[in-house]
């Protein structure tokens, strides 16, 4: 056996994990397994910038003992590296799919060397979350890039496997490492490291076994696209393709539409809405599924009368839809976007969502709370004067909105925000009280303003439909820029107003629909509206 003084290289492993996922524990388990086998092992880590702008990188190097080193007169302990070198990583472990993409971009995975183990679960990055549109990176592209950039790809939802056994993802990833046979140690040695740690042993071993079985399956074929070992250029983008639905998802939606079109819609809603659900039969078949969901959503948001108003609005689009006997795209999009706008996010809606039983049950399930164990949910709230005014009746809200003193008082009181314990008596009482003022919502400043804006939008779309159904559909889809609350909603409202003005100017243009779609995409591209204003300027110049 040659000595490391003669160029023998260690086995290198890079682990990319988010905070709280046990990346450090996983690295320690690997080191313990190697050292128990008599190997030399070293573990270092470099923390990410924040919870989800970058994962912590744990780097492990392993080298078997070399009896020849002493005879050759060289030092018994090898000198190892403290950070992974692009093109020199043997095993890459990523706790989340985006992190595998980041590693591929950095050249840590190469097609001639690397076994890439990644969980297909997603924890969306900051860039994905702050995008005004759908900023999610396509999972399929991430997996394809990982497959091209690795000698062997082991991909499974290791997060779900861990949760099924009451453990954390580090245990299932450790099992995947053992099952991949990327390290020359038997399964028993890996399991011994878990037992030696002495914490959550049974749950960790169960998750380890699930990960082992997933990785021991036949390997996925590697591509020769990156056979030269060069880093793969991964298309990290901030806007999604028009449709990212899988074939299975599309089939499910079509099956649902077919079932609703052929069955009794009244049987799919509560008894209070059955007569309204019967009216869905009058809509084009392709729009009925969306309309039923919108019917229930608007009823939950306000009441039966509000749901009836929703159906009346959708029916107006159905009457003007030139494709009513076919795809009925205008009606289908109207059924979706009218419901979304009518169920805007105000303080009443936010309070209602926070105290829902389903939310509390989900939080207990995600935190793995045991029966009888107390759980506290702390909400960080930062109410603005505008949001308070919007909730008040118009007769008092509008005068207060004009009061500088009121704005200064609210600003001073809420400048630093407030923390509310939803599970406390006071916190729960405050939130439920706010949720219960829902019957007063139709008298509020925000309700009056939103309904007037919705009617103007509908009238503009219906006027466009008389000459250009495609333009009408794009006008309907411009509702996508309206979302959130506070400054986010204010920015969206400004963008929406600009889009509606552009739609008026585009009427009669042969490419009106395509140009309005480009402007809408520009409005969703950034938060300050620069891209939209640039697009409108180009349109005016043309």
**pLDDT at residue 225 greater than cutoff 80:** no
Taking the alpha carbons at both ends of the chain, their separation in whole angstroms is 75
What is the number of structural domains in the chain?
Answer: 2
Answer whether 174's CB lies under 8 Å from 26's CB. yes
Residue 278 counted as domain residue: yes
Three-state helix/strand/coil letters over 172-227:
HHHHHHHHHCCCCCCHHHHHHHHHHHCCCHHHHHHHHHHHHHHHCCCCECCCCCCC
> Per mean pLDDT, which range of 54-68, 454-468, 491-505 is the poorest?
54-68
Answer whether 287's CB lies under 8 Å from 314's CB. yes
What share of residues in the chain are helix, strand, coil (percent, to 5)? 55, 10, 35
Same domain, 137 and 207: yes
Residue 454 counted as domain residue: no
Same domain, 166 and 262: no
Q: Of the residues 173, 193, 215, which one is the last residue of a structural domain?
A: 215
Residue 396 counted as domain residue: no
Q: What is the pLDDT of residue 241?
A: 32
Residue 354: which pLDDT band, with cuts at 50, 70 and 90?
very high
Same domain, 21 and 96: yes
Same domain, 100 and 201: yes
Same domain, 183 and 39: yes
Same domain, 174 and 301: no
- Tell me the residue range of the domain where 42 lies: 4-215
Q: Would you state the structure tokens that stand for residue 53, as one six-digit string?
A: 């702008």
Same domain, 208 and 85: yes
**pLDDT at residue 231 greater than cutoff 60:** no
Q: How far apart are CA 408 and CA 317, in angstroms?
A: 44
Q: What is the pLDDT of residues 159-192, one digit of tens each?
A: 999 989 989 999 999 999 999 999 999 999 999 9
Residue 474 counted as domain residue: no
Same domain, 54 and 140: yes
The sign of the torsion formed by the CA atoms of 199, 202, 203, 208 equals positive
Q: How far apart are CA 460 and CA 380, in angstroms?
A: 39
Q: What is the pLDDT of residues 445-485, one digit of tens each?
A: 999 999 999 999 999 999 999 999 999 999 999 999 998 77
Angle at 159 between CA 158 and CA 162, to 5 degrees: 85
**Mean pLDDT confidence for 288-316:** 95
Q: What is the pLDDT of residues 422-438, one digit of tens each?
A: 989 999 999 999 999 99
Q: How far apart are CA 522 and CA 517, in angstroms?
A: 9
Residue 540 counted as domain residue: no
Residue 164 counted as domain residue: yes
């Amino acid at each position: 056996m040659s000595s490391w003084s003669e160029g023998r290289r260690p086995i290198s492993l890079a682990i990319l994990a988010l905070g709280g996922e046990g990346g450090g524990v996983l690295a320690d388990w690997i080191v313990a397994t190697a050292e128990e086998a008599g190997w030399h092992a070293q573990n270092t880590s470099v923390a990410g910038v924040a919870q989800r702008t970058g994962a912590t990188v744990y780097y492990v190097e392993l080298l078997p003992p070399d009896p020849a080193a002493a005879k050759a007169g060289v030092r018994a302990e090898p000198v190892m590296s403290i950070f992974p070198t692009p093109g020199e990583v043997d095993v890459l472990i990523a706790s989340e799919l985006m992190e595998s993409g980041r590693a591929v971009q950095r050249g840590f995975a190469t097609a001639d060397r690397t076994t890439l183990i990644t969980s297909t679960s997603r924890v969306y990055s900051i860039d994905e979350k702050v995008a005004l549109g759908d900023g999610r990176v396509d999972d399929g592209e991430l997996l394809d890039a990982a497959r091209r950039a690795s000698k062997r790809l082991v991909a499974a939802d290791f997060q779900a496997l861990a949760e099924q056994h009451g453990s954390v993802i580090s245990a299932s990833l450790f099992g995947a490492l053992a099952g991949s046979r990327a390290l020359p140690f038997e399964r028993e040695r890996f399991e011994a490291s878990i037992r030696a740690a002495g914490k959550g042993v049974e749950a960790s071993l169960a998750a380890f076994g699930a990960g082992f079985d997933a990785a021991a399956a036949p390997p996925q074929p590697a591509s020769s696209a990156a056979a030269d070992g060069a880093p793969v250029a991964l298309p990290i983008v901030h806007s999604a393709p028009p449709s990212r639905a899988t074939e299975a998802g599309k089939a499910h939606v079509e099956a649902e539409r077919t079932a609703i079109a052929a069955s009794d819609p009244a049987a799919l809603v509560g008894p209070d809405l059955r007569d309204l659900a019967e009216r869905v039969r009058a809509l084009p078949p392709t729009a009925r599924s969306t309309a039923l969901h919108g019917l229930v959503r608007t009823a939950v948001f306000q009441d039966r009368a509000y749901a009836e108003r929703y159906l009346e609005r959708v029916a107006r689009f159905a009457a003007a839809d030139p494709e009513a006997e076919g795809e009925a795209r205008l009606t289908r999009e109207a059924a979706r976007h009218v419901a979304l706008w009518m169920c805007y996010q105000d303080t009443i809606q936010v309070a209602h969502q926070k105290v829902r039983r389903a939310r509390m049950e989900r939080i207990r399930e995600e935190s793995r709370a045991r029966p009888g164990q107390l759980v506290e949910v702390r909400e960080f709230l930062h109410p603005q004067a505008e949001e308070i005014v919007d909730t008040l009746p118009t007769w008092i809200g509008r005068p207060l909105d004009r009061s500088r003193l009121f704005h200064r008082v609210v600003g001073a009181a809420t400048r630093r925000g407030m923390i509310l314990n939803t599970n406390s008596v006071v916190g729960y009482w405050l939130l439920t009280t706010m949720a219960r003022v829902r019957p007063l919502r139709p008298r509020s400043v925000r309700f009056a303003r939103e309904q007037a804006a919705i009617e103007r939008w509908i009238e503009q779309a219906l006027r466009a439909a008389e000459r250009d159904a495609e333009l009408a559909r794009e006008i309907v889809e411009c509702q996508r820029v309206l979302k959130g609350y506070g400054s986010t909603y204010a920015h969206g409202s400004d963008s929406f107003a600009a889009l509606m003005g552009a739609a008026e100017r585009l009427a009669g243009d042969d490419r009106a629909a395509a140009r309005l779609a480009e402007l809408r995409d520009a409005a969703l591209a950034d938060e300050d509206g620069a891209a939209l204003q640039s697009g409108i300027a180009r349109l005016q110049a043309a």
